[in-house]
Amino acid sequence: MRSLDSTITKLKAEGFKLTPQRISVIKYMEGNPDHPSAGDIYKALKKKYPGLAFSTVYNTLRMLQKIGEIQAVNIAEDHMNYDPDTSSHFHLLCEECGKIVDIPSSGDLAECFRSSEISGHEVKSYQINMRGTCSSCLCGSSDPQRRL
């Protein structure tokens, strides 16, 4: 997801309709670093757009996934999170504050997945998910953002 404009252009090119609800979801995701869940998106947008259904959020997310504008992050145990940054990077779920933070992809790591063939299997995609404590919680030991 580079920008609102490029995403909308892509939508049109792929033949999808531009409804206000879809645009609101796209706006919410664009540049959002918080890896929101479908529920987060629904709750946040429901205030502004009372006429918004849960299924519309899911449909829009699925559509954005299909055209490669967002990626689903399978790191939490009981729900999916969504990331507008589809470049190669990884995620850490902080066990203190519950946030999901981005981890840049190191050259060494990328090197391991250079080939699409690993142990005789064909690898089409991969995710690296970590758990631990994020830098904010490590420094500010008075944990200003503790949620758990």
Residues engaged in binding a copy of itself (CB under 8 A): 72, 74-75, 77, 80, 92, 94-95, 101, 103-104, 106, 108-109, 111-112, 116, 118-135, 138
62: contact with DNA by CB under 7 A = yes
Residue closer to DNA, measured from CB, 19 or 135: 19
Q: Total residues contacting DNA (rule CB under 7 A)?
A: 26
CA distances from 89 to 67, 78, 124, 129 (A): 19, 22, 16, 10
Pairwise CA distance, residues 40 & 125, whole Å: 26
Q: Which stretches of the chain bind DNA, using CB under 7 A?
A: 12, 16-22, 37-39, 49, 51-56, 58-60, 62, 77-80
